Amino acid sequence: MSFRILGTGHSVPSRIVTNDELSTFLDTSDEWISSRVGVRERRVCTTETAADLAYQAALNALEMSGTKPEELDMILCATISGDDASPSLACMAQGMLGATCPAMDINAACSGFIYMLDTAAGFFARGKVKKMLVIGAERTSRILDWNDRNTCVIFGDGAGAMVLGEGDGYLSSKLFAKGGDSVIKIPLFVGMSPFYDNETLEPYVHMNGQETFKFAVNAMCQDVPEVIEEAGLQQSDITWVIPHQANIRIIDAAKRKMDIPQERFCSNIDRYGNTSAASIPLLIDEMNREGKIKEGDYLALCSFGGGLSSAACVIRW
Ligand code: UT7
């Protein structure tokens, strides 16, 4: 027993920030960002909290699945930019929804959503849950140095959610981590302990872009074929590849190395940028609402990011 997906939802802040707007206060250009990253615009919170995004995405998923909050047995949320260290974003969403089940956050950076699906599959396998809500929600705009053109042009805010029910739609998975903070690091706030004298890095995203890029392409090329084989499928059986939306050139580089037709690799990075743990459920919900995903379709999901971490799985819709 694993799970099947009963409903999906997403939510983004209303404020659109274009590349041209960024170039009014940063030494950058629409041409550079569009061609090197693939982002044309992103959503940025002005008054919305990460909890607001998580809640609205969850409501949309619950509505599609015809599930009431009180029917939920567990809420998980993948995030690295929740509003508070405590309460967790999952607990905030639980309270706003009026649900009564346990709730907790998962941090595996941009790989968080797939790590969370794998965790969810374990709860179903042990028979502990019948319905779960999983949410990827990020307010990355809060953890960016808006003077650093290497990072702030890439990211965006948003949330995606799924309601999971009992079933056998989760076919295979791979989780990977290569620990260390030399490539991506997002320190917490400096704090005020009078006893500690070594905290210097600002609490923003610090990233070696080229090292991350290489790790990401390698991860996609290794992880996706492995989970397809573990699911007992051929690469040509995959209906859609849903990659984490970090850079369109990462997706382009990886898809050239696989035996999956290129038009099956999906993307919406042009409109949202990199929304970290939210990017996969946000993309899936858009496709689902457009009617692009049909019962029986095989989806290969893959992600990579801070940790360093990577993850992939195959889902039958
Ligand atoms: O989700 C978490 C995982 N994150 C990722 O997967 C990110 C992976 N990495 C990337 O997407 C890319 O490495 C970046 C988008 C971060 C950077 O692209 P790049 O093609 O690797 O650029 P680069 O760092 O090699 O920089 C090339 C040039 C540099 O100028 P010089 O030294 O050649 O004169 C940069 O200073 O581009 C410059 N540059 C910019 N120029 C205009 C860097 N950022 C910008 C910018 N606008 N925003």
Paired with 176 in beta bridges are 310
Write down the pLDDT at residue 195. 87
CA nearest 168: which of 5, 34, 278?
A: 5
Q: Where are the domains of the chain?
A: 4-168, 172-316
Residue 199: what pLDDT? 66
User: 251: CA distance to ligand 1 center in Å?
Assistant: 16
Q: Quote the CA–CA distance of 70 and 82 in Å, as a whole number.
A: 23
CA distances from 282 to 65, 153, 157, 222 (A): 16, 19, 11, 24
CB of residue 39 inside a 6 A radius of ligand 1: no
Atom of ligand 1 lying closest to residue 274 CA: 1
**CB 213 less than 6 A from any atom of ligand 1:** yes
Residues taking part in catalysis = 110, 244, 274
Residue nearest to atom 20 of ligand 1 (CA): 36
> Across the chain, which distance is largest between two alpha carbons, in Å?
59
User: What pLDDT digit, counting tens, does each position of 142-195 carry?
Assistant: 999 999 999 999 999 999 999 999 999 999 999 999 999 999 999 998 788 888
Rounded to the nearest whole angstrom, what is the distance from the C-alpha of residue 260 to the centroid of ligand 1?
A: 28
- Give whole-number Cα distances, 59 to 52, 120, 152, 163, 210, in Å: 11, 19, 29, 10, 38
What's the whole-number average pLDDT of the chain?
Answer: 97
Q: Is 28 in the pocket of ligand 1 (CB under 6 A)?
A: yes
Q: For 172-316, CATH number?
A: 3.40.47.10
Q: CATH top-level class for 4-168?
A: alpha beta
Residue in 28, 37, 213 to alter for ligand 1 test, most ligand atoms within 8 A of Cβ: 213
- Decide whether any atom of ligand 1 lies within 6 Å of the 183 Cβ: no
Mean pLDDT of all residues in 298-316: 98
pLDDT category at 299 given cuts 50, 70, 90 is very high
pTM over 0.75: yes
The reported pLDDT for the residue numbered 197 is 78
State which ligand 1 atom lies nearest to the alpha carbon of 304: 3
CA nearest ligand 1 atom 36, residue = 150
**Omega before residue 26 within 30° of 0, cis:** no
What's residue 282's pLDDT? 98
Closest Cα partner for 88 from 135, 123, 143, 144?
A: 135
Cβ of 112 closer than 6 Å to ligand 1, yes or no, is no
pLDDT band with cut points at 50, 70 and 90 for residue 200:
confident
Domains 4-168 and 172-316 equal at CATH topology level: yes
For atom 35 of ligand 1, the residue with the nearest CA is 150
pLDDT tens for each residue of 82-134: 999 999 999 999 999 999 999 999 999 999 999 999 999 999 999 999 999 99
Q: Given a cut of 80, is residue 50 above it in pLDDT?
A: yes
**Cα–Cα distance for residue pair 303/310, rounded to 1 Å:** 5
